[in-house]
Chain A
Amino acid sequence: MDFQATIDADGRIEPRDAMPDGYRKTLIRQIAQHAHSEIIGMQPEGNWISRAPSLRRKAILMAKVQDEAGHGLYLYAAAETLGVDRADLLDLLHSGKQKYSSIFNYPTLTWADIGAIGWLVDGAAIVNQVPLCRCSYGPYARAMVRVCKEESFHQRQGFEILYTLSKGTEAQKAMAQDALNRWWWPSLMMFGPPDAASTHSEQSMAWGIKRHSNDELRQRFVDMTVPQADVLGLRVPDDGLVYEDGHYRFTEPDFTELYDVVKGNGPCNQQRLSHRVKAHQDGAWVREAAAAYAEKQAARKESAA
């Protein structure tokens, strides 16, 4: 069966199948950007590991940050099935030629931000990623199945942090509200520009890479999240929010901010990238030592044989 027939039958494309160049390029760009987001996303949360308020919270946060590294690996592996090298993708990230999700360019100022990231950012990521489990490219879809299973723990732990704070002192509750105020709009922007302004959407839908439009997913996220905010006793910072015909109507985020952060002008863009590059360089000796050891062992085996 050829490419288009497979897509039309809602079948899956596998690595060595023939595929249009544009399909391959779109997937490489999207999967790489997704992978970069996972590993850059370790930074805002890693910022709080040493300051988590209890051993339990610390253990959970470490497990979550470790998961993000794992998600990055699944995704880099999926991208490699399309004929690129992970090392080259990392170079593209480090030189700023490939992007990661803009949400990670915002700082984590208080412990409540860790709650808001889990609840809102991972919540938005789940809404984006669940349809990707049915993406037409097999390795990407399979990676997403694993990622989604693990994300649901992330979202719940974030909600639990905020729930605890919202039942605490006035100051703790204010801290939770402040985190929601700061993360709400950037979370809505995670779904990308409005449909009318989205450049890649139409072709991606035709190829079965994308299953729902940006605005559809954004609406789904708002409908899911607003009632959860009520349980937390926190106020969603949108005066335009009204419930109507089974959906929450909401104010459109200011997308000029998104474009500005994508361009590199967010609060933490430089810090995130320079930290990432430094971590990669600082780890070079470990990779070199492991390779040298592997070489030595292989040579010994050779001479013994």
Chain B
Amino acid sequence: MIEPLWEVFVRSRRGLSHTHVGSLHAPDATMALRNARDVYTRRQEGVSIWVVRASDITASSPDEKDEFFDPAGDKVYRHPTFYEVPEGVEHL
């Protein structure tokens, strides 16, 4: 009997997004949530928890990471620092 693997995401306080904190095994989502509470929020580290079955996550492949992220590589004009601002111009 293999218990499925769950990835755990915790919102540390209101106003912040959920962040991946680790994983655990549990037979179902309810148990995964309870275990996640006991394992990852014993010191009030969170106000909300998501658990996601690890097998349900689709991830980009590290082998293709160069090609995959290439398109952003030559588009420095997406950053404000690309633009030259004439001297004396404010609030831009």
Contacts and interface: CB of A to CB of B under 8 A. Distances in A.
Interface of A: 14, 16-18, 63, 66-67, 70, 73-74, 77, 80, 85-87, 142-143, 146, 150, 287-288, 290-291, 293-294, 297-298
A86 B42 CA distance: 22
B92 interface: no
Contacts of B63: 18
Contacts of A80: 5, 23
A291 B62 contact: no
Contacts of B85: none
Interface string B41-65: 0110000000000000001011100
22 contacts: A14-B62, A16-B59, A17-B62, A66-B42, A67-B42, A77-B23, A77-B24, A80-B23, A85-B2, A142-B22, A143-B22, A146-B22, A150-B43, A287-B1, A290-B26, A290-B27, A291-B27, A293-B27, A293-B28, A294-B28, A294-B31, A297-B28
Contacts of A291: 1, 3, 27
Nearest to B25: A86
Nearest to B20: A142
A80 B7 CA distance: 12
Interface of B: 1-3, 5, 22-28, 31, 38-39, 42-43, 59, 61-63
Nearest to A66: B42
B12 to A, nearest CB: 13
A288 B1 contact: yes
Contacts of B39: 70, 73-74
Contacts of A87: 2
A298 B25 CA distance: 17
Which 7 A/B pairs are nearest by Cβ-Cβ distance? A294-B28, A294-B27, A290-B27, A77-B23, A291-B27, A16-B62, A17-B62
Contacts of A17: 62
A287 B3 contact: yes
Contacts of B2: 85, 87
A74 B22 contact: yes
A74 to B, nearest CB: 6
Contacts of A66: 38, 42
Nearest to B8: A77
B20 to A, nearest CB: 9
Contacts of B5: 80
Given A70-B42, A142-B22, A287-B1, 18 more contacts: A16-B59, A16-B62, A17-B62, A67-B42, A70-B38, A73-B39, A77-B22, A77-B24, A80-B5, A87-B2, A143-B22, A287-B3, A290-B3, A290-B27, A290-B31, A291-B1, A294-B27, A294-B28
A157 B91 CA distance: 54
Contacts of B24: 73, 77
